[in-house]
């Protein structure tokens, strides 16, 4: 009798944990939807900006406007990539390893997902600062803004370093695989 109750409790617990996979799938879907939306927005904005630039060829502000728009598009795409990495990482961690994705997108642990995301965040911050610097008018506010971004990047770097020391190298590094990005 006790074994039947224990087996029934185990089945109920298994169903409850199975439901959490559905919750994660909803998060994966929303992350991928936002990523796709950002990519589409960036493409449409690029189309309009480039079309507008061709209508104003030779005007002094056209090149600067095009450059700022290109950097802002890169920032939008980086956020889209971050959401893509989050979605694919959560899918791989909670539901199952993904097929047909590059090896560097495979996530072996939650810490691995955080490290991948931190790299994209630091790059997005740097690109964002570059966009602001392109539109800089000469006042001192850019120094404060730059210092704030530098502080965040430094904090992320320290956190990332501590995280990697606490948890050791990623699983693919321990298995003897060589990271393609590690060598020039």
Helix (H) or strand (E) holding 63: helix 60-94
Looking at residue 139, what is its pLDDT?
80
> Is 129 among the domain residues?
yes
Quote the number of domains for the chain. Answer: 1
Against a cut of 0.85, is the pTM above it?
A: no
Range of the domain at 118: 11-179
> Is 115 among the domain residues?
yes
> Is 141 among the domain residues?
yes
> Is 42 among the domain residues?
yes
The Cα–Cα gap between 147 and 82 comes to 23
Looking at residue 33, what is its pLDDT?
97
**CA neighbor of 121 nearest in space, from 94, 166, 153:** 153
> Is 124 among the domain residues?
yes
Looking at residue 120, what is its pLDDT?
85
CA distances for 156 relative to 13, 33, 104, 138, 159, angstroms: 38, 27, 20, 29, 5
Looking at residue 173, what is its pLDDT?
46
Looking at residue 73, what is its pLDDT?
92
Looking at residue 168, what is its pLDDT?
66
> Is 166 among the domain residues?
yes
- Decide: residue 32, CB within 10 A, 0-12 exposed, 13-18 middle, 19+ buried: middle
CA distances for 147 relative to 59, 123, 126, 141, 152, angstroms: 34, 16, 12, 10, 9
In tens digits, what is the pLDDT along the chain, a chain of 184 residues? Answer: 678 877 777 777 777 777 777 888 899 999 999 999 999 999 999 999 999 999 988 887 888 889 889 988 998 999 999 999 999 998 888 887 778 888 887 888 888 888 888 888 888 888 888 888 888 887 878 888 889 999 999 998 898 888 778 776 555 444 444 444 443 3
> Is 20 among the domain residues?
yes
> Is 1 among the domain residues?
no
**CA neighbor of 24 nearest in space, from 83, 87, 85:** 87
Angle between helices 2-55 and 60-94 (to 10 degrees): 170
Tokens 């960036």 sit at which residue? 42
Q: Bin 101: left if φ > 0, else alpha if -120 < ψ < 50, else beta.
A: beta
Looking at residue 46, what is its pLDDT?
95
- End-to-end, the C-alpha distance of the chain in Å comes to 65
């Amino acid at each position: 009798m006790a074994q039947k109750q224990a087996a029934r409790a185990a089945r109920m617990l298994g169903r409850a944990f199975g439901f959490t996979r559905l919750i994660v799938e909803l998060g994966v879907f929303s992350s991928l939807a936002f990523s796709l939306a950002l990519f589409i927005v960036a493409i449409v904005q690029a189309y309009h900006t480039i079309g507008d630039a061709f209508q104003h060829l030779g005007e002094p502000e056209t090149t600067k406007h095009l450059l700022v728009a290109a950097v802002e598009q890169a920032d939008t795409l980086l956020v889209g990539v971050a959401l893509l990495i989050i979605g694919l990482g959560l899918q791989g961690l909670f539901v199952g390893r993904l097929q047909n994705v590059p090896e560097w997108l495979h996530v072996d642990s939650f810490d691995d997902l955080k490290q991948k995301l931190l790299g994209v965040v630091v790059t997005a911050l740097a690109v964002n600062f570059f966009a602001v610097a392109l539109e800089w008018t000469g006042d001192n506010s850019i120094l404060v803004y730059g210092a704030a971004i530098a502080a965040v990047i430094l904090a992320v770097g320290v956190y990332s370093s501590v995280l990697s020391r606490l948890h050791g190298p990623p699983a693919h590094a321990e298995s003897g695989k060589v990271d393609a990005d590690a060598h020039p």
